[in-house]
Amino acid sequence: MNEIARLAASTYVSDGCVLGLGSGSAIERFARSLGELVASGEKKEVRIVPSSMQAWGLADQNGLRLIDDSSHCPSKIDVAVDGADQIARRSRSMIKGGGGALLREKVILSSSAKSIILADSSKVVDNLRRSVPIELIQFAFKSVQEKLEKEFKADCHLRKLEKGYPFFTESGNLILDCEFGEINSPKEMENQLKSIPGVVEVGIFNCNIEKFYVGNQDGSIFSI
């Protein structure tokens, strides 16, 4: 993973660019690599759009400058770099939101001219099949859960903190982690789920991704 983080930082970040920074452990490594390049003067004037408090902190710790108003996503980002929880090889769809940052991550990816995803090979599958985080407003908790269970035959669990309290996203919403089995039509599924009243965002991503950099256990890299 350190190799792909270094590769992405040196290849895809150009001087003066506005960079959308995803969340998660791959992004922690990427931010470290980019921080080293900025500190050594190899990359200049990079400005970060953070997808979460974690990303904001990573920028801060690694000496990366934020855009002037980091509470608003610019309509145009030059490049976004993010991680993924699962990647479908053929459809190039993803499941994201394991850390709860799916809403801002999707806004950033959809505003970026170019998007790069960093992941290890265990996350690459033929068809998506892990649980999908669905972010919803608290008021609609019961109605959304019932629709998902009855109409989509999903097995849903409210995301909770270790001590049993509900997990609230940085936008103040709840997350239902939902098992649908194998997802054969990720685009349709994303659209159908998003049309449920009360759903704010869905962890199925069908964005245009320029490159998935995937790291093998032995340190080798391949791209999709």
Q: Which residues bind ligand A5P (CB under 6 A)?
A: 22-26, 82-85, 96-102, 105
Active-site residue, 105 included: yes
CB of 131 to ligand A5P, least distance (A): 12
One-letter amino acid at 182 equals E
**Which tokens in the block code for residue 180?**
């649908």
Question: Given the complex with ligand A5P, which of 23 and 173 has the nearer CB atom?
Answer: 23
Q: Which residue is nearest to ligand A5P (CB)?
A: 24
d(CA 209, CA 10) in angstroms, rounded, equals 18
Question: Given the complex with ligand A5P, which of 119 and 148 has the nearer CB atom?
Answer: 119
Question: Given the complex with ligand A5P, which of 99 and 147 has the nearer CB atom?
Answer: 99
H-state helical runs in 137-179: 141-151
Residues 6+ apart with CB under 8 A from 71: none
For residue 52, give the DSSP letter: S
CB 3 within 8 A of CB 219: yes
For residue 71, give the DSSP letter: T
CB of 44 to ligand A5P, least distance (A): 27
CB of 29 to ligand A5P, least distance (A): 9
Kindly name the residue from 28, 36, 45, 105 that is annotated as catalytic: 105
CB 148 within 8 A of CB 178: yes
CB of 223 to ligand A5P, least distance (A): 17
Question: Given the complex with ligand A5P, which of 103 and 147 has the nearer CB atom?
Answer: 103
Tell me the catalytic residues.
105
